[in-house]
Each structure stands twice: as C-alpha cells, then as structure tokens.
Chains A and B, each alone.
Chain A
Amino acid sequence: MSPAPAVKTLLIDGKDVSASGDQTILGAARENGISIPTLCHLDGLTEVGACRLCLVELKGSTRLQPACVMLVEEGMEVTTHTPRLQKYRRMILELLFAERNHVCSVCVANNMCELQDQAEAHGITHVRFPYRSPSLPVDASHERFALDHNRCILCTRCVRVCNEIEGAHTWDLLGRGVNSLLISDLHEPWGESDTCTSCGKCVQVCPTGALFDKSKVGGKVRKNPDFLSYLNEMREGLR
C-alpha cells in the first residue's frame, strides 16, 4: 500500500475543511455538505470535466476551475456559488438545451432527467439562445435498448461505465465539438455490436432520455446509477 496522502486544509465557501491530498474540490465539498451541481460526474467513474457545471472560483485566480478534476491544495480558498458562476452555469444549461432537440414533454425521461432537474434548480424558465434544431438519428437497432441522439448531452458517462466497469468499451465519441456523436463500436448500429454485452449499465447512468430501455417507455422509470459505488466498493474490498 502506498502511504496515505497528506491531509490538506482549505476554505470552501468560508467553511474550514480538511481533505486528503488526492481528493478533488468536488469530493471535499460534498463530504462537507456543500453541494456543487454536476452532470458528467458520477460517483464510481473517472472524471472528465466535460460539462463544466461544477466550475468554482479560486482566490487569487481569475480562471474558473472545474471542481471535479481540480485537486485540493493547502490554503486554497474556494467559492462555489457566486453570481458569476451562476451566470455561467445557467448559460451552459441553456446552451445544452439549444444544441440538440430536447423536448421534455414527450421525452421518456420526463421528470426523471438530470438536465431538466438542473434547469429547474438554476431557475431557467426559457432559453435565450436560438435552437439549432439539428437533424439527428435514433438508433433502435438493439433488441432491448435505444439511443436517441436528440437527447444526448455528450457527458460520456455511458462511454466510461462501459469501458471502466463493464470492460466492453462499446461506446465512444466520433467527431469534434458540435459535430460530436456517440457511436457504438466503429460507428455501427448498436444492435450489430460485437462488443456490447447488453448489460444495460449505460442506460442506467445516462442522465437524460438519450439511452433508454425500450420495454419501459411511457411509465415513470427512474434510472439507478447507484450500483456503481457498490461495485467499486466490492472491487476494492470495502464490503
């Protein structure tokens, strides 16, 4: 076993906090009951810092930093809910709504959606940016599950859970920026994937209605990403 990392002390929203040196600002904040909004983060998966919702301010720096990938440092002074941060968080969420075709009223994940929850939590009543309304496909070739690109926010939770937990690495991203697209294998229909084990983990961790179980449309189906921490604790012998 490697030696335990040194304990660091820092200030989050004016509260004295101690954390181990390998902890992120997000981890330290949540451990101390300070909530920071996230979308791409999920307990049990590696961090990618993709959604930028967890941006925080650090004293002495004008740059905003993503709390999910920024490690704690001795003497850090972190603020998590300034008007500037709230402004950017609202903007990020509105841009997510404007980027693809999120139609909550007819979505399989209506009222079970983390994007919708975050919009409400941030007081968003409308989107100030013009909707792009792109033409995007739906892949319903898999026997049990379907992928609707219109609702995908490119958080890559599915990519990570498939790679890191299931070990299949069926999912990946194609393209860059606004043209990015979630693909299975080498951009083949999901139903024809050689690597997919049909375990359904990707469906459970998807924060929106992009990945869903075909047999459960219409009902109120809550996703259960909580299995991840259990699996990790089992793997690390903590249970």
Chain B
Amino acid sequence: MSKSTASKPTLATVWLDGCSGCHMSILDMDERLVELSDQFDLVYSPLVDYKEFPAHVDVALIEGSVSSDEDERKIRLVRAHTRMLVSLGDCAVTGNVPAMRNPIPVSELLDCVYKGNGLLQEQIPAERLPSLLPRVRPVHEVVEVDVFVPGCPPSADTIFTVISELLAGRVPQIAALSRFGA
C-alpha cells in the first residue's frame, strides 16, 4: 500500500478490547485486499506501522469494546479525527464477550484472577497498564458511530461490501449482510 497519493481516501483500523478476529476477517478478504488497496491509503492500523493516529481519516473501522481508560482515550481521539466511524463486529457493537464481566465488580474480578490461585507473587498489575473501566461499553455508548456492522466476526464478504460502499461514498445496508453472533 503506497504511502500517499493525496486524492485517495484514507482508511484506519483500530483494535480496542476484542480478540482480533475482526482484523483476521479483514485479512480473510484475501486477494480482494489488493484490489481494494488501489482505492485507499491505509494510514493507521495494527496491521501497519504508523504510530500516531492521523489528523484526518475518512473511514475508521473499530474492532472491540471500550473496556479500559486507554480504550476510551483512543476512541475519543479517533472520533475527533474521523469522518465515518464504523463499529466493526459484536464487541464494538454490543460489548459481546468482553462485556460478560459487567455483572462482576472490577475489584472482585481482579482479585479472582490475580490473587488466591496459589501464585508466587500475588499482585494486581497497576503500572504501565491501562486500568479497567467499571463497565465494558459498546463504542456508541462513548462516541457517535456512523455505521454498525454486527457479527462475530463479520464475514470477509460483509467487510468487503462495507469498505467498497463507504469508499464509493454510499452508506451500506448492513441488516441484509450480517447479524448479531454470526
């Protein structure tokens, strides 16, 4: 994906609290990625090496729910610099599996995982790691979302259609493409 021809739309993908399955599904587009890559510049993604989120992005695909203070900081930054923000996959859309911790208070959760399991150095990680928010939230509870693509993960065909439609300046009709869970 060549660095820049100013006229091409820019695409970013962001990985919050998810299993990376949605990014795997992006890769699962296989040779269609080559076809698509002529139409946009991938300016930020776990799949490429840019460190800073650019000042202006046309389309951002968000995988994962908002589960930590770092997720929240990141999604607010992304929203501020993105024209079309897409919640990609059930974690971003519903909270999904990460949100299954929501009925349990965070302190209890951390105690359960990091203490009392016969560990040698019982300690709750605090330094240089993001802290968990009291509740896992879907992206649209934190910032405004323009397009919702449910699915765990959404299929490569669905993602291809979504990206193609958005690059063509159209809003894809998602309900016919994907559903919660599948």
Does A186 interact with chain B (Cβ within 8 Å)?
no
Does A120 interact with chain B (Cβ within 8 Å)?
yes
Interface of A is mostly: loop
Chain B residues whose C-beta falls within 8 Å of the C-beta of A133 in the assembled complex: 99, 102-103, 135
Does B96 interact with chain A (Cβ within 8 Å)?
yes
Q: Which of A131-165 contact B (CB under 8 A)?
A: 131, 133-136
* B 133-160 to A, binary, CB cutoff 8 A, 1 in contact else 0: 0010010110001001110100000000
CB-nearest residue of chain B to A106 = B97
- Asked whether, in the complex, the Cβ of A111 is within 8 Å of the Cβ of B181, the reply is yes
- Asked whether, in the complex, the Cβ of B181 is within 8 Å of the Cβ of A110, the reply is yes
A96 to chain B, nearest CB (A): 12
Bound Cα distance A101, B95 (Å): 10
Contact count A vs B, C-beta below 8 Å: 72
Asked whether A101 and B97 contact (CB < 8 A) given A116-B181, A125-B174, the answer is no
Chain B residues whose C-beta falls within 8 Å of the C-beta of A106 in the assembled complex: 97, 100
Bound Cα distance A113, B175 (Å): 17
Does A105 interact with chain B (Cβ within 8 Å)?
yes
- Asked whether, in the complex, the Cβ of B90 is within 8 Å of the Cβ of A105, the reply is yes
* B 149-180 to A, binary, CB cutoff 8 A, 1 in contact else 0: 11010000000000000000000001100011
Chain B, interface size category, equals 20 to 34
Bound Cα distance A127, B94 (Å): 7
Bound Cα distance A123, B173 (Å): 9
Chain A residues whose C-beta falls within 8 Å of the C-beta of B149 in the assembled complex: 125
Asked whether A131 and B150 contact (CB < 8 A) given A104-B181, A110-B182, A111-B182, the answer is no
Bound Cα distance A113, B99 (Å): 21
Does B47 interact with chain A (Cβ within 8 Å)?
no
Bound Cα distance A120, B135 (Å): 27
Q: List 7 A-B contacts (CB under 8 A).
A: A105-B90, A105-B96, A105-B180, A127-B138, A131-B94, A131-B95, A135-B103
B residues in contact (CB < 8 Å) with A: 87, 90, 93-97, 99-100, 102-104, 135, 138, 140-141, 145, 148-150, 152, 174-175, 179-182
